[in-house]
Amino acid sequence: MERDRTNVEQDRTAVERDGTTVERDRTIYDVAVIGAGPAGTQAAISAAHQMRHVLILDAGEVSQRKGRAYWSKTVEIQDAPVFAGVTGPQFIKALREWIAAHPVREITIAGERRLTGIEYRGGMVLELHRKGELFELVTSVQRLREGQPLTIERFLARTVVVASGFEDKWPDIEVDESAQRLYEKYRVVFRYAGNARGWHVCIRCDGHLHVDQHLAILGVGDYVYGAALGAQDFTDKITILTNGRPHGMSPPVLRQIQERGIEIIETKIKRHIGRGTDLLGLELEDGRELFFDGFLVDEGLEPNTQFLKGWDVQTDEEGLLVVNEDGQVLDTQGNPVPGLFAAGDIVSGTRNLIATAFALGQNAGLSASDSLRKWRWPEE
């Protein structure tokens, strides 16, 4: 590996191509960001603003995992400053334009040549490894095609910001079990997701659409009561649907539910009753048809951290990453993992909202950048 005094470095690596071993140069980025939602975009911009050379890898370009903000298909996001009432796809387009406004360029500081700016690549990070002092990101860089092998690229970076968010779990109604891909499996559910009259996953985001209206909340356990507590800011007309499962609530929670007149229906749901992309009601297996103004699902989440398999990182009961005040990921002993940061929805104990993701992204991007500085405070 050739190293000089600037951040314009290359790693000379032997790679297998058609059975022949060839030497190839790979750029070593200062910061690699995994995910280009609000958290990752802000992390990339903040690090580039400190003159770092940043790579941002985003699965949305090569797969249907386009991030949570993208899900607001027709509902406008109204609480993110600067963006006045934008749908998810419009919001993501604005983030991409923001990235494009920070292209990679060469600068010289005190005689040292450096690269700064952001390189944006479509790619699903599959594995993250340590390679000496560096990180290697094993990334699938092309859209998957039936029967075709993956196209893999390996990127190198000194620091990594994990901003890959999570996937919401969707209701188990009219699911096509024979389908291979998630998006085919939940095709009917997704028709109604992210629309004003459809499935919501964020009461704080979409509750304002259902002021004083009848809201159905789907889920089980004490967990679902959290959604009902959030819903009280908008309406007291709430029904909890468990979709065929026992409600599983503890006696104190159940007492509160009963005191507030919230009905719990444990019958399995057979199908959606919709018009176009509007969800109007649900037909139960006993033949009843129930109609609501809004539908909120609270079935939990799946963190997008498959690439951290084998890493000693601390997670909460939902699998979200535990970080310190600098956004640095902690290991199971509570020590910061060198060079590894996280931001946005993937971080444990944070509000899952866009403005929060921006703030956490900025914190992690700046911390990653700061960790690369040569001068430091003298040790005490």
Ligand X SMILES: Cc1cc2nc3c(=O)[nH]c(=O)nc-3n(C[C@H](O)[C@H](O)[C@H](O)COP(=O)(O)OP(=O)(O)OC[C@H]3O[C@@H](n4cnc5c(N)ncnc54)[C@H](O)[C@@H]3O)c2cc1C
37 near ligand X, judged by CB under 6 A: yes
Tokens for 163?
Answer: 């901003």
Report the alpha-carbon distance of residue 36 to residue 56 in Å, rounded: 7
Decide whether 225 or 307 has the Cβ nearer to ligand X.
Answer: 307
Report the alpha-carbon distance of residue 298 to residue 300 in Å, rounded: 6
352 near ligand X, judged by CB under 6 A: yes
End-to-end CA distance of the chain: 34
80 near ligand X, judged by CB under 6 A: yes
Q: How far is the CB of 265 from ligand X (least distance, A)?
A: 24
Cα four-point dihedral sign 366, 370, 371, 373: positive
Task: Pick the piece of the chain touching ligand X (CB under 6 A) from 75-83, 104-112, 151-159, 223-231.
Answer: 75-83
294 near ligand X, judged by CB under 6 A: no
57 near ligand X, judged by CB under 6 A: yes
38 near ligand X, judged by CB under 6 A: yes
**DSSP category for residue 268:** P
Number of residues that bind ligand X (CB under 6 A): 40
58 near ligand X, judged by CB under 6 A: yes
3-state DSSP of 119-151 = EEEECEEEEEEEECCEEEEEEECCCCCCCCCCC
Residues of this chain, 145-184, that bind ligand X according to CB under 6 A: 163-165, 168
Q: How far is the CB of 10 from ligand X (least distance, A)?
A: 23
Report the alpha-carbon distance of residue 29 to residue 42 in Å, rounded: 17
How long, in residues, is the chain? 380
Decide whether 124 or 337 has the Cβ nearer to ligand X.
Answer: 124
The answer for residues whose C-beta is within 8 angstroms of residue 84's C-beta and 6 or more apart is: none
79 near ligand X, judged by CB under 6 A: yes
96 near ligand X, judged by CB under 6 A: no
Neighbours of 149 (CB within 10 A): 7
DSSP three-state, residue 355: helix
3-state DSSP of 183-240 = HHHCHHHHHHECCCCCEECCHHHHHHHHCCCCEEEECCHHHHHHHHHHHCCCCCCEEE
Among 118, 220, 296, 353, binds ligand X (CB under 6 A): 353
Decide whether 121 or 214 has the Cβ nearer to ligand X.
Answer: 121
Among 66, 131, 270, 271, binds ligand X (CB under 6 A): 66
Tokens for 73?
Answer: 């298909």
Residues of this chain, 216-235, that bind ligand X according to CB under 6 A: none
354 near ligand X, judged by CB under 6 A: yes
Among 11, 47, 54, 71, binds ligand X (CB under 6 A): 71
Q: How far is the CB of 100 from ligand X (least distance, A)?
A: 16
Decide whether 9 or 207 has the Cβ nearer to ligand X.
Answer: 207
Decide whether 265 or 358 has the Cβ nearer to ligand X.
Answer: 358
Binding residues for ligand X, rule: CB under 6 A, are 34-40, 57-60, 65-69, 71-72, 77, 79-80, 124-125, 163-165, 168, 194, 201-202, 205, 304, 307, 344-345, 352-355, 357
